[in-house]
C-alpha cells in the first residue's frame, strides 16, 4: 500500500511538472506570435453569406451587385465582372459558375454593344448596364419580378423599377434565360444584348402601353444596325410571305407580339423601323420613337405624329412601307 501511495504521489508530481512546462511553452509561442510583424501573419476575413466567385474589388463594391445579390445567391455561388463601357461608364455582368460560357460572351460583347446602341440612340443615357444570367426558369422570373414562369420562347428581357415621367429609371437590368446560351450562338447573344440594351437606353422616354411595333421594332433595328446581313437573314419569315404575295396590310397590333407568330411580328416591326431609317434618315427614326413611345397611341394619334415627324399621313406611310417590302424582299 505504501508503494502504491508513493507511486501515485510521484505520478502527480510528474503530471504537475508536465502541465507547468506546457503552459510555459504555449505562453512563449503566443508571445512570439504577438511580436511577429503583420506581414508575416495570414489575413483573416469574416465569413460572408453565400459564396461569391471571381468578384474583383471594383465589382464587389458596385451597388448594383447588392441589388441582385439577394435574388441570385439562393440559387448558388455567383460570378460578377465589371466591364468598362461608354463614356467612362462601367457595366456589370453577374451569373453563376454553370453559366460561365454565357458570362464570358456577354463580358466580351458588352462594350461594343453599348457603343452600337449609343451610335443610334445618342449619348443621352447612362451607357452602362447590369446584365444577369439566370440559372433556372424560377430565377429568371424572380429577376424580372414576374409572378409566374415566363414563356419558354423568352430568351432575355429587361426590367426597371416603377418611375414617373421625367425621372431617371432605377433598378434597370437585362436578364438572360438559363438556356439562352444553348439556343443562340455568340453572335445571336450579342444581337439580343443590343436589343435589350436599347430598351435600357430608351426607358426614360418610353411609356408603358406605347405601341410595340415602335418599341420592339426600334430595339431590333438598333440590334441589327451595322451588321452585314441581308434582309432575308434578318426577316426570313417576312421574306417568305412577301415572295408569296402576302404583304402585311397594316402595322402589327400589340396582341401579335406573343404567341406562335411572335417571331414573324418582330420581323415586321423591325422592317418598319428599317424602312423609316432608309427612306427618311436615322435621326428622324429616333425622333419618331420619342413621339410614338411617349404614350398610348391609336391610328388617329399615330396619323398626327407621322404627319408632324415624317410629313406623311398614316395611310400613305403604310402603303409606302408595303411597297418597300415588295422591293426589299424581291
**Sheet order of strands, 173-176 included:** 52-53, 78-85, 89-95, 130-133, 173-176, 156-159
The answer to whether 129 and 203 have CB atoms below 8 angstroms apart is no
Diameter of the chain by CA atoms?
A: 124
Residue-level length of the chain: 330
For residues 128 and 90, the answer to whether their CB atoms sit within 8 Å is yes
DSSP letter string, 211-235? -HHHHHHHHHHHHHTT----HHHH-
In the numeric block, which cell numbers belong to residue 94?
A: 453577374
**CA 47 to each of CA 50, 51, 52, 64, 80: distance values in angstroms, whole numbers, following the listed order:** 9, 9, 11, 21, 18
Q: What is the pLDDT along the chain (330 residues), one digit of tens a residue?
A: 444 344 344 445 444 444 444 544 545 544 443 444 433 333 323 334 344 555 666 788 899 999 899 999 999 999 999 999 988 889 999 999 999 999 999 999 999 999 999 999 999 999 999 999 999 999 999 999 999 999 989 999 999 998 777 778 899 999 999 999 999 999 999 999 999 999 999 999 999 999 999 999 999 999 999 888 899 999 999 999 999 999 999 999 999 999 899 999 999 999 999 999 999 999 999 999 999 999 999 999 999 999 999 999 999 999 999 999 999 877
Amino acid at each position: 500500500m505504501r508503494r502504491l501511495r508513493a507511486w501515485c504521489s510521484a505520478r502527480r508530481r510528474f503530471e504537475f511538472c508536465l502541465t507547468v512546462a506546457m503552459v510555459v511553452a504555449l505562453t512563449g509561442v503566443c508571445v512570439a506570435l504577438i511580436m511577429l510583424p503583420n506581414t508575416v501573419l495570414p489575413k483573416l476575413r469574416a465569413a460572408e453569406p453565400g459564396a461569391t466567385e471571381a468578384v474583383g474589388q471594383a465589382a464587389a463594391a458596385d451597388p448594383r451587385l447588392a441589388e441582385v445579390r439577394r435574388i441570385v445567391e439562393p440559387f448558388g455561388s455567383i460570378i460578377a465582372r465589371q466591364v468598362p463601357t461608354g463614356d467612362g461608364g462601367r457595366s456589370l455582368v453577374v451569373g453563376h459558375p454553370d453559366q460561365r460560357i454565357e458570362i464570358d460572351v456577354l463580358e466580351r460583347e458588352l462594350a461594343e454593344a453599348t457603343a452600337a446602341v449609343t451610335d443610334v440612340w445618342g449619348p443621352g443615357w447612362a451607357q452602362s448596364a447590369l446584365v444577369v444570367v439566370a440559372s433556372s426558369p424560377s430565377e429568371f422570373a424572380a429577376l424580372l419580378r414576374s409572378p409566374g414562369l415566363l414563356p419558354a420562347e423568352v430568351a432575355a428581357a429587361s426590367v426597371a423599377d416603377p418611375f414617373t415621367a421625367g425621372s431617371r429609371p432605377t433598378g434597370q437590368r437585362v436578364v438572360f434565360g438559363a438556356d439562352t446560351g444553348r439556343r443562340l450562338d455568340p453572335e445571336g447573344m450579342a444581337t439580343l444584348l443590343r436589343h435589350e440594351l436599347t430598351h435600357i437606353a430608351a426607358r426614360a422616354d418610353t411609356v408603358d402601353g406605347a405601341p410595340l411595333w415602335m418599341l420592339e421594332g426600334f430595339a431590333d433595328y438598333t440590334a441589327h444596325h451595322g451588321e452585314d446581313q441581308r434582309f432575308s437573314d434578318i426577316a426570313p419569315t417576312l421574306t417568305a410571305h412577301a415572295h408569296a404575295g402576302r404583304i402585311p396590310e397594316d402595322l402589327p397590333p400589340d396582341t401579335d407580339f406573343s404567341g406562335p407568330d411572335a417571331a414573324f411580328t418582330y420581323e415586321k416591326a423591325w422592317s418598319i423601323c428599317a424602312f423609316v431609317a432608309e427612306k427618311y434618315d436615322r435621326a428622324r427614326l429616333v425622333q419618331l420613337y420619342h413621339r410614338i413611345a411617349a404614350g398610348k397611341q391609336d391610328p388617329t394619334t399615330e396619323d398626327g405624329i407621322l404627319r408632324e415627324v415624317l410629313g406623311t399621313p398614316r395611310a400613305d406611310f403604310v402603303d409606302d412601307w408595303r411597297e418597300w417590302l415588295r422591293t426589299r424582299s424581291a
